[in-house]
Amino acid sequence: MKVYIIGGTGLLGSASSSELIKRGHRVRSVALPPVPENSGIPKEMELVFGNYMTMNDDEIREQMTGCDALVFAAGVDERVEFPAPVLDAYIKFNVTPVERLLRIGKETGIKRAVIMGSYFAHFAKKWPHMKLTEKHPYIKSRILQEEAALAFNGDGMDVMILELPYIFGTQPGRKPVWTFLVEAIRKMKGFTFYTKGGTTMVTVNQVAQAVAGALENGNGGTCYPVGWYNMTWKEMLAIFHKYMGLSDRKVITIPSFLYRMAGKKIMKDFKAKNIDSGLDMVAFTKIQTSRTFIDRSLIEKELGVLEDDVDVAIGSSVELCLDALDGTQKLIEMKAE
């Protein structure tokens, strides 16, 4: 199989490319520079530098020609800030490109497609009483992305969504997304203050296996909730503490109203800066304090995802975050493609 990847030099795209090549597939990717030094990007990958957002249809069509499958490992998440209305920005980067790429893909004979989405979409469907799409533009955009993608499923093309959760692991030379949390923990004195609740997580290697497994064996029209390790925040933070040299530090659970108060301040600060938040940080308290856990059986059975060492993956992320904060490594920011 020859696979066309949007965002093949990023953390997830690079890992997915390596996994696909290891399984005997060929990979062509379009991505934005710069590429970190010693990034681990497979030398066998055919890499085209460019911005797929500004390429015309003929340019994309030419690059897709001869490929059997498509992977969308790009777009933006809730951490990227935009002026109002933020939903328009998410549609621009997460929804419209998926529609365009799948349309061109059908024209060029793409048979299999995997779209990297968000586990927030899974919980928006699972917990309709929370009205997550009404309160959070980012979550609404992810549902719109799924609907746009699945509209192309059928007539010779199988389209699958990976609803991705918290991901641990590193790409050499690239600053981890977890740097903000490591920095916040460092600034707290004596204790780490956090909410109740917890989350599901996977390693970057497991994401790569899910991508390859979906392309090889996934069922078209399926949204796969991706999760393997379910931890409370206390359990996750204990691992952070270990790799930060803070093994004896306690985690103090704060009341939800304090989180809501902090959320109000964040929203006020955003408004003063003319920033429209993808998440309503007051309403987000309900998600933050819930246990957003996922049963791993579906990705294990259908996609062939395997056990990994999440402790080591978290540790490598934390250690690179510390290097980023201390300036001991030259790192480039995670980028939106």
Mean pLDDT of 214-237: 98
Is residue 277 domain-resident?
Answer: no
Q: Which of 120, 208, 197 minimizes the C-alpha distance to 171?
A: 208
Q: Pairing relation of β-strands 198-203 and 229-232?
A: antiparallel
Q: Which residue in 222, 215, 252, 220 sits closest to 237, CA to CA?
A: 252
Q: Which of 2-16, 233-247, 288-302 has the weakest average pLDDT?
A: 2-16
Give yes or no for a contact between 264 and 171, defined as CB atoms under 8 angstroms apart. no
* pLDDT tens for each residue of 6-23: 998 889 999 999 999 999
Tokens of 260: 């809501």
DSSP characters over 58-74:
HHHHHHHTT-SEEEE--
Of 98-107, 123-132, 138-147, 328-337, give the lowest mean pLDDT range. Answer: 328-337
Of residues 205 and 329, which shows the higher confidence score? 205
- The mean pLDDT value for 217-228 works out to 98
* Helix ranges, 129-255 (H): 132-135, 137-150, 179-187, 204-217, 233-243
Burial string for 83-95 (b: 16+ CB within 10 Å, else e) reads eeebbebbbebbb
Q: Cα separation of 113 and 51, whole Å?
A: 20
* Mean pLDDT to the nearest integer, 263-282: 94
Structural domains of the chain, count: 1
Residue 77 lies in a domain: yes
50 lies in some domain: yes
Residue 124 scores a pLDDT above 70: yes
On whether residue 261 sits in a domain, the answer given is no
Query: Given this model, what pLDDT does residue 336 score?
Result: 43
Q: Specify the pLDDT at position 40.
A: 75
**Torsional class of 155: left (φ above 0), alpha (ψ -120 to 50), beta (otherwise):** left
Q: Does the residue 30 lie in any domain? A: yes
In this prediction, residue 34 carries a pLDDT of 73
For the stretch 34-92, pLDDT in tens is: 776 666 788 899 998 889 999 999 999 999 999 999 999 999 999 888 998 999 999 99
Query: Which CATH number goes with the domain that contains 178?
Result: 3.40.50.720
What are the backbone angles phi and psi of residue 225, rounded to the nearest 5°? Answer: -70, 120
Mean pLDDT of the chain: 94
Q: The pTM is what?
A: 0.95
**How many residues are recorded in the chain?**
337
CA atoms 148, 103, 15, 335: torsion sign? negative
Which helix (H) or strand (E) segment holds residue 280: the answer is none
Residue 334 lies in a domain: no
Give me the mean pLDDT over the 314-326 stretch. 95
Containing structural domain, residue 12: 2-234+286-326
pLDDT of amino acid 334 = 53
Strand partners, 218: none
pLDDT at 36: 63
